[in-house]
Amino acid sequence: MAASRNGQSPGVFRANRRHFLLGGAIAGIGATTAVAADYALGSSRPPEQNPAPTPLNGSNTVPFYGEHQAGIDTDAQAYATVLALDIRDGVDRDGLRRMMLILTDDAARLTQGQSALADAEPELAVAPARLTVTFGFGPHFVEIAQAEAPGWLRPLPSFGVDRLEPAFSDGDLLIQIAADDPLTIAHTARMLLKDARSFTTVRWTQSGFRRAHGSVKAGTTMRNLFGQVDGTSNPVPGTDGFDRVVWNTDGWLAGGTSVVVRRISMDLDKWDRLDRGGKEQSVGRYLSNGAPLTSSSVGEAAEFDEPDFAATSRAGFPVIPEFSHIARARSDREGERIFRRAYNYDDRPADDAISNSGLLFISFQADVDAQFVPIQDRLDQLDLLNEWTIPIGSAVFAVPPGCLDGGYVGETILG
């Protein structure tokens, strides 16, 4: 199940019955015309050379049901919108159960390219473009559900570098919506928010982007708005290492995980004043290909070379400075690893600034306190990148396991 969500194994768009009944005739005409045209063109060349029609990326789906929720080990889609909702006063455990039933049904349909029940714009559901919807529960949600919260389910300890704004922090219910099509995301967010409205209010929404689908080779490590290759050392979905880093095995969270969502403001103007060598030293990687400074700045493969933190320059200084981001983030302890799935943001600048940009940092890990906090502690104490970045939002959620057809996300604490 998990494997089928990875890499390039998209499902096939399945029209629901209504689409078939009402759209079938029109689609049929289109298909006939296309076949006829193909036949005409094909008559001038051997039939075996007819290229298979390129499937539309918009038709690709990621399975919704499974042991784990989708949108975690799924190859990151081009766009994401993350919603944090607060539970309305008076909503009880049964209210949360009813809400998760409805939201699960919406997500199960929309991710497969089918309109939600009572969807006011069903035509917007027909291009899922690898849509995933991932739910996370904040401390207050778990409290109302009368379940035992893991010890790490609370705001992160405050770090010296933080300048957190309530407008981008905390929340009771997280919904991460990701797809290769921003229109699909907008429709999905609208549908889910309409169905959550009688139970919740919107606390914050954040949207982010990577390269558009098809712009670069699938699987290319993302670049952030500093131009850096960002996420090279991530564990690889489908491996034992990934499973150990990400999936929780305890109680109602077995098959689930935790997510940390942080809004990292990036000072592009200050970054511009740094020369290229300085930029590369701050991270410890080449800007050209993301390779560690102890490797080669040429060639794609070098990106994944292991950094050699012991290597020194002729003057005797470490090639990868001790204060660089990768030197500080790196841990020898296997347990202190996380899986990053970040997006860039580029919003309206305030006052006479020309940029309001940064990183919508999203990481998944089985245990926030054991895995995330030690890394952030080290970065907080010393990380040259802190000169150009400021965390301005932070939230932690427990991500419950996935569900099977007929079940719902959250059933392990609400059922």
Residue with tokens 């800007």: 287
Identify which of residues 97 and 223 has a Cβ nearer to another protein in the complex.
97
**Minimum CB distance to another protein, residue 116 (Å):** 9
Q: Which residues are CB-contacts of 50 (< 8 A; sequence separation ≥ 6)?
A: 38, 42
d(CA 159, CA 154) in angstroms, rounded, equals: 14
CB 188 within 8 A of CB 177: yes
- Tokens (6 digits) for 213: 């689908």
Identify the bridge partners of residue 59 per DSSP, sorted by sequence position.
none
290: nearest Cα among 276, 305, 277, 312: 305
Q: Which residues are CB-contacts of 245 (< 8 A; sequence separation ≥ 6)?
A: 235, 337, 338, 339, 365, 366, 371
Identify which of residues 20 and 317 has a Cβ nearer to another protein in the complex.
20
d(CA 349, CA 309) in angstroms, rounded, equals: 38
SS3 43: coil
Identify which of residues 18 and 270 has a Cβ nearer to another protein in the complex.
18
Identify which of residues 199 and 343 has a Cβ nearer to another protein in the complex.
199
**Minimum CB distance to another protein, residue 327 (Å):** 50
Identify which of residues 115 and 232 has a Cβ nearer to another protein in the complex.
115
| Radius of gyration for the chain, computed over Cα atoms and rounded to the nearest angstrom | 23
User: Which of these is catalytic: 170, 195, 230, 380?
Assistant: 230
230 noted as active-site residue: yes
Q: How far is CA 47 from the centre of its chain?
A: 42
Identify which of residues 28 and 151 has a Cβ nearer to another protein in the complex.
28
SS3 208: strand
Question: Where are the strands (E) in 183-244, listed by range?
Answer: 200-209
- Tokens (6 digits) for 59: 């038709």
* Site for another protein, rule CB under 8 A: 16-18, 20-22, 24-25, 95, 97-99, 101-102, 105, 117-118, 120, 194-195, 197-199
SS3 20: helix
**Minimum CB distance to another protein, residue 244 (Å):** 36
Angle between helices 93-110 and 182-196 (to 10 degrees): 160
**Minimum CB distance to another protein, residue 324 (Å):** 50
**Minimum CB distance to another protein, residue 15 (Å):** 12
**Minimum CB distance to another protein, residue 21 (Å):** 5
Residues annotated as catalytic are: 230
